[in-house]
Amino acid sequence: MKPSVIYVTRNGLLEPLGQSQVLGYLLQLSNDYDIVLFTREKEADWANLPQRQRQKAQCETHNIDWRPSLFKPRRTFLTPLRDMLDSALEVKNAVLETNASLIHARSYLSAAVARWVSRKTGVPFIFDMRALWPEELIVAKKITRGGIPHRVLTLFEKLCLRDAAAVISLTHAASRYLKATYPQELQNKAIEVIPTCADLNRFRPGLTKPVIETHAAIGTMLSGWFLTEWLRNWFELCEKRSPNCNFEVITRDAAVLVRKQIDPLGRLGGRLKIQSKTPDEMPLAIQGHSTSAMFFTNGVAKLGSAPTRLAEVLGCGVPVIVNEGVGDVAEIVRTNKIGVVVSSATPDELEHAYDELEILRRDRHLPARCRETAQEIFSLTAGANKFREVYARIINFNSISTDHK
């Protein structure tokens, strides 16, 4: 009989992130564990009945007990707390019903729920942090430092770090920051680093090189996290240095608004495509790119960031241009020689970066090196194996401890 694991996330299984960063792992882990999966689905996604039925069938095929509920938009400060209370009772009942051996909590509010259930039932939990959420909310101006929401979240963070059977971070940079910030709570406790991974069976190099040089960027452009001014400067430089090249931005943001940010004077015209793609269309789209730009705001809030798009782009053998201060990204790019790193978007800095990238792209081994880096660091199978090791260690330790009581 397989051990039972309760997985709790506030992401939806019907959204792209839930597909790549939740289900992708669980499909592999379900070979060794009976999994009960709690998700929070957006109304628009839930309204898509065919997609919902396909997802339910896939979970049933892999013996994953999917228990979705609708995401509740925040109307007052108490809305998330009420939602957490409902979630805590659901998770507690599932633990007792399945005789669960472990609770895997993805992100802060889920971890607060898991900690409460753990204290009530004695079942250990994993705090899978994903990012430094309180700092991200401050930068996004959704909360203020020292305010009540910030103090509540940092209290959750401190208690969950202290009481979790294992802590998982996306980056080594965040791990170092947490150990310096919470030396007492994390004393003698290892932080496992498992970055956001990609299915490299899908994201792989194309059979031929792109016919036309295409510089690209992928993901949300208007959230405040992406440095659209840097991307505008980079595209303008690429157009100057290579007048026949094309440009593509793949995003779910409004194309008109993105174009205003990136090409306000219309210099790139029809050579700049701004469009969305389905998850199934993404591998082929990336295979058509020559380089991919990833410019994000930095600082403490981004120490815990591991962009999913990095794994997908490298898996397709495409080099990148990135900026300093975003998780482990700059270190990975430099160490493996799979792109260039910039510290600013000044003309001189970008000119130098373009020259570096041109030298790299003349290296016939570059696509293979990008692919190998993705396989070594961002493989979905490698990530699932790390989770499997963490699960086994906690369950075995808890079983031995229980036997000796």
Show pLDDT as tens, one digit a residue, over the chain (405 residues).
899 999 999 999 998 788 888 999 999 999 999 999 999 999 988 999 999 999 999 999 999 999 999 987 766 666 777 888 999 999 999 999 999 999 999 999 999 999 999 999 999 999 999 889 999 889 888 899 999 989 989 999 999 999 999 999 999 999 999 999 999 999 988 899 999 998 999 999 998 888 899 999 999 999 888 999 999 999 999 999 999 999 999 998 999 999 999 999 999 999 999 999 888 899 999 999 999 999 999 889 899 998 889 999 999 999 999 999 999 999 999 999 999 999 999 999 999 999 999 999 999 999 999 999 999 999 999 999 999 999 999 998 776 655 555
The SS3 assignment for 117 reads helix
Give this prediction's pTM.
Answer: 0.87
> Which residues sit opposite 272 in a β-bridge?
247
Residue 321 tokens, joined: 């241009």
Can you tell me the distance from the alpha carbon of 76 to that of 259, in angstroms, rounded to the nearest whole number? Answer: 35
DSSP helix/strand/coil, 350:
helix
The ranges of the chain annotated as CATH 3.40.50.2000 are 4-197+380-403, 214-377
- Cβ-based neighbours of 376, under 8 Å, separated by 6 or more: 382
- Say what the pLDDT of residue 238 is: 97
Tokens representing 64 are 């994953």
- Quick count: other Cβ atoms within 10 Å of Cβ 321? 25
Residue 83 CA neighbour count, 13 Å, CB half? 20
pLDDT at 123: 97
What CATH topology corresponds to 214-377? Answer: Rossmann fold (3.40.50)
In CATH terms, the superfamily for domain 4-197+380-403 is Glycogen Phosphorylase B; (3.40.50.2000)
Return the pLDDT at 400: 64
Closest CA to 387 of 166, 203, 115: 166
- Residues 94 and 352: their CA atoms lie apart, in Å, by 57
Which pair of tokens denotes residue 118? 């753990």
